[in-house]
């Protein structure tokens, strides 16, 4: 069985541009969450979706948005990129929305120049 897959693995963007990151959860997992991890820090929660509905939103500006598709895959969009958006973006999936461990993908390394 394939794990959580994220694409692309690496990405370089210019300030002000927009970026879309993609995540495919483990088959059968209906919950997808997104996290931002800056070097040397723990991951910070951005969004959680379960059954295509937003179940949680972290303390991030409106430039960050996400959605979950009928096949449970998900996209994270970031508009008007800032240098401070440079980070590892992690996607995680789970069979349920709460009280279950998450399986993480290997992440997308975003560099904003």
Partner 1 sequence: SQQGEEDPQALSIQEGENATMNCSYKTSINNLQWYRQNSGRGLVHLILIRSNEREKHSGRLRVTLDTSKKSSSLLITASRAADTASYFCATDGNQFYFGTGTSLTVIP
Q: Which residues bind partner 1 (CB under 8 A)?
A: 4, 33, 35, 37, 39, 41-45, 48, 56, 58-59, 88, 90, 92, 98-107
C-alpha 62/C-alpha 92 separation (Å) is: 21
Please say which residue, 2 or 39, places its beta carbon nearer to partner 1.
Answer: 39
Q: 3-class SS at 89?
A: strand
Q: Which residue has the tokens 């995680």?
A: 92
Cα torsion 80, 38, 59, 91 to 10°: value is 90
> Shortest distance, CB of residue 104 to partner 1, whole angstroms?
4
> Shortest distance, CB of residue 43 to partner 1, whole angstroms?
5
Handedness of CA 89, 93, 67, 75 (dihedral sign): positive
Please say which residue, 92 or 112, places its beta carbon nearer to partner 1.
Answer: 92
Please say which residue, 9 or 20, places its beta carbon nearer to partner 1.
Answer: 9
> Shortest distance, CB of residue 101 to partner 1, whole angstroms?
4
């Amino acid at each position: 069985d394939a794990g959580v897959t994220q694409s692309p693995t690496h990405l370089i963007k210019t300030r002000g541009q927009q970026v879309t990151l993609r995540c495919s959860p483990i088959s059968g997992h209906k919950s997808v969450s997104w996290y931002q991890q800056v070097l040397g820090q723990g991951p910070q929660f951005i969004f959680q979706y379960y059954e295509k509905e937003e179940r949680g939103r972290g303390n991030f500006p409106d430039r960050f948005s996400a959605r979950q598709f009928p096949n449970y895959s998900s996209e994270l969009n970031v508009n008007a990129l800032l240098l401070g958006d440079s980070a590892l973006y992690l996607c995680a999936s789970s069979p349920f929305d709460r009280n279950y461990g998450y399986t993480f993908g290997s992440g997308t390394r975003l560099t904003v120049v």
